[in-house]
Amino acid sequence: MKYLKTTILIVLCACQSTQVSIPKEPEIGPLGEQAMISTAHPLATQVGVEVLKNGGNAFDAALAVKFALAVVFPRAGNIGGGGFALYRMNDGTIGSLDFREKAPKAGGRDMYLDDEGNVIDGLSTKGHKAAGVPGSVDGILKLHDKFGSKALAELIQPAINLAYYGFTITENQAMEFNEKREDFIEINGADFFLVKDEGWKNGDTIKFVELAGTLTQIRDRGRDGFYAGIVADQIVKEMQRGGGLITEEDLNAYSARWRDPVTSNYRGHKVISMPPPSSGGIAVLQLLQGAEQYNISEMGHNTAQTIHLLTELERRVYADRATYLGDPDYYDVPVDMLLDPTYNKERFSSISLKKKTDSQDIKEGEVDVIESVETTHFSIVDPDGNAVSLTTTLNSFFGCKVYVRGAGFFLNNEMDDFSSKPGVANQFGLVGGEANAIVPEKRMLSSMTPTIVEKDGKLKMVVGTPGGATIITSVFQAIMNVIDHGMSMQDAVNATRTHSQWLPDRILVEERAFDPAAIKKLEKMGHLIERREAMGRMDCILVREDGKLEGGADYSRGDNYAEGF
């Protein structure tokens, strides 16, 4: 059940070297001869592994894992949100499914503004009006309908059992429930079942009996078990109770969209990622095109020079994100331009390796805050070599904090991912423009970045993470950690991460081992450094040179767990 953890002692030199000491003995994640799954929770991973052992494929396992996470990881695993799925078949066929939430038909451009045109604080993040039309159930069912081999009833039953009979929570989960106590009370009342006077603690048992009922409806009726009938009625009644906008018509009209992935090359590897309305795929490919112009390996891992370069690349790419990206069904996103090597060579030509560029010189804007976000990702490779990279979200911890009475799940607060007012940042410090303005039935822009990497026409990596704005930079760094720095998958996941996003004009650095001399050099170059406890919780898979599958799960930042066979 637990990783065999390698004890690693990192010695930070007191000298002026900017190189962080790299452990001589790498930590290797769990290995599998045939298959591997990495998710945010051990119980979800085990559910998926059992599906594969019983003859299911990656898409069967994805459905089982998705619904299991809705139970055991309620802050982000969900049926009340949305997400993206990227896949690669064993014959090299690739594709993606967009099941991002949509704005309700009653929504509109100025729905979060007061009479003077100012954004009303908190209206797009907490409470009923913050929720977009959920896409998770439609999306995972569509994916399974097209590629799955096992019956829905067989695959969803483990999640029903977990919800009805209960499971023990981890220390992290107890802390999360306790931290959100006041929000739960504010939105759902003092008698809400996740509110305990004595607080939650590690090892407590929790049951989601109402959720078991909803999952049973989906098991027996498929899509109509959520978007019609009793569950849809419960969602609509919850909206009416709290002034939300989602209607029966919104639910009935929702449909996930198949889309062509975006691709590019990086040092002999083909990188495949999610197209818009994800901003992550284009951003990661732009970043890799910029990094390829430099000898990252020679520059060193997490040296001042490398972090400076990554920051300069990131501030330009995030400025492009704010300007050009939105829902392609409503806005003509210039994908070809943004992925054109000539464009990116010119875009990055103003970078100096000796001093920082002021973000205000790249594009005007003003941001004061960037906050945390909760999403979850899982990666699967089955015995036939099919791969699924799937990221799903409620946006904030427990979304808008609205728990649908009788149905047993939280709704998202994805409406905050629109530009409530073009040029004004959302809760994560991300600025958007006209391309991401609110329009009824439009999908909001996302940072989710499920990604797959090939080498010589064969599967190489399956990568992804939660983390809001930091998803893009975490995926970017994980890919470079393996390709440029030769790390194992587990070491690439464990490595200290940094993040910059144009605005706010600063570099975030995790509170982990990091050479203080590198920090000093970055500050001398003009960078503002801020510490963060953690960024992202990655779940990745690497196909090693010997053909074995290595899981890389972020157990040091969360409860993530990988297992193979």
Distance CA 236, CA 19 (A): 56
What angle (nearest 5°) sits at the alpha carbon of residue 371, between those of residues 121 and 81? 80
Instruction: Please list, residue by residue across 395-430, b when 16 or more beta carbons sit within 10 angstroms of its beta carbon and e when fewer do.
Output: bbbbbbbbbbeebbbbbbbbbbbbbbbeebbbbbbb
- Say if residue 203's pLDDT is above 60: yes
> Is-contact 280 466, C-beta < 8 A?
no
Distance CA 304, CA 311 (A): 10
Strands of the 549-553 sheet, one edge to the other: 31-32, 549-553, 539-543, 458-463, 451-455, 269-273, 262-266
Q: Which of 375, 465, 470, 496 is catalytic?
A: 375
Instruction: Reduce the secondary structure of 458-472 to three states and give it as a string.
Output: EEEEEECCCCCCHHH
Tell me the pTM: 0.92
Strands of the 387-395 sheet, one edge to the other: 257-259, 94-99, 82-88, 387-395, 374-381, 36-39, 561-564
Query: 437 pLDDT band (50/70/90 cuts)?
Result: confident
- Say if residue 7's pLDDT is above 80: no
Give pLDDT tens digits for 72-120. 999 998 999 999 999 999 999 999 999 999 999 999 989 999 999 888 9
What are the DSSP calls for 202-216, one per residue?
TT-EE--HHHHHHHH
Q: Is 125 a catalytic residue?
A: no
CA atoms lying within 13 Å on the CB side of residue 510 = 18
- Say if residue 382's pLDDT is above 90: yes
Query: 532 pLDDT band (50/70/90 cuts)?
Result: very high
Distance CA 68, CA 39 (A): 10
From residue 237, alpha-carbon distances to 101, 243, 404, 410, 542 in Å are 19, 10, 9, 14, 46
Distance CA 498, CA 309 (A): 12
Domains of the chain, each with CATH number or no CATH: 40-99+128-257+372-432 (no CATH), 259-368+447-542 (1.10.246.130)
Of 14-28, 324-338, 503-517, give the lowest mean pLDDT range. Answer: 14-28
Other Cβ atoms less than 10 A from the Cβ of 565: the count is 15
Task: Read off the DSSP letter of residue 434.
Answer: G
> Is-contact 169 451, C-beta < 8 A?
no
